[in-house]
Structure 1
């Protein structure tokens, strides 16, 4: 795991792959809880029998936004940003979903530091994020996620 204590330390990783998270299994319980939280109970996510017979994947799939919501959790397995007062999820850009994540798939996040900027004492980083699916050639998504770090 990468440990970062300051803006200057973070800058040394510009353009480099920072790391890869541990594998995380997306099971039906997590999909159902996400559906409840977002009020998105579309059958392709929640109805195992219908998905098995009518769905293109022959199983339920995770919501695209569920996979995106895993970024902070998986990012913290890659980088331990220390000596901060606050961390803010600032935005996402240019995300493309390349492949559905079928229930019980294992995913991991691959991260690269794409840019780093000092905004009057606040560190803005853009992380190129790729969510890989175990055993699949195409990733679930690729895109850029932005964080703001207020270092002490």
Structure 2
């Protein structure tokens, strides 16, 4: 969809505004996230020990599943306000981790625009529902309402 006007973006509230390409969450990505966050729980980084759990192997950190939202967003053609100079994360209303992402699985993001409003002249706040689908699985990995602000 690309660049849109304020009115065009407002008209999309309640609509799915993007689906990303597939991204493989492999052990190297999980290990790098463990290093960056200091979360070395064995279910994420010890392949042999994790095989003995109900997961049958290592799984991605829940926060890794949330943190790949920007890369998945970049893999879409989501509508963006014309003239954006900068965007920032503002926070989340809800986040639910529903199913583990096993190492080696492919995931993709689905994005639904829940709300867009001008907070003050040139500052827009957008709430998007982010659903992380796991290939060939019925349950998504997570569903989150994420709030971003954009400055034009």
TM range (shorter): over 0.9
> What is the rounded CA distance, in whole Å, between the counterparts of 2:101 and 2:131 in structure 1?
13
> What is the rounded CA distance, in whole Å, between the counterparts of 1:51 and 1:24 in structure 2?
22
Task: Give the equivalent residue in structure 2 for 1:110.
Answer: 110
Q: CA RMSD in A?
A: 1.2
Within 5 A, what are the aligned runs for 1:56-95? 56-78=54-76, 79=78, 81=80, 82-95=82-95
Q: Which 5+ residue runs of structure 1 have no aligned equivalent?
A: none
**Runs ≥4 residues deviating over 6 A:** none
How far did 1:92 drift? 1.4
The two structures have a TM-score, normalised by structure 2, of 0.93
| Structure 1 contact 7–123 (Cα < 8 Å) conserved | no
> What is the rounded CA distance, in whole Å, between the counterparts of 1:85 and 1:5 in structure 2?
14
The two structures have a TM-score, normalised by structure 1, of 0.93
Q: Which 5+ residue runs of structure 2 have no aligned equivalent?
A: none
Task: Give the equivalent residue in structure 2 for 1:127.
Answer: 128
Q: CA offsets per residue over residues 97-140 of structure 1, 9 Å max, x none?
A: 11000000100000100011110121101001100000000000
> What is the rounded CA distance, in whole Å, between the counterparts of 2:75 and 2:27 in structure 1?
23
Corresponding pairs, count: 149
How far did 1:72 drift? 1.2
How far did 1:80 drift? 5.4
> What is the rounded CA distance, in whole Å, between the counterparts of 2:5 and 2:69 in structure 1?
22
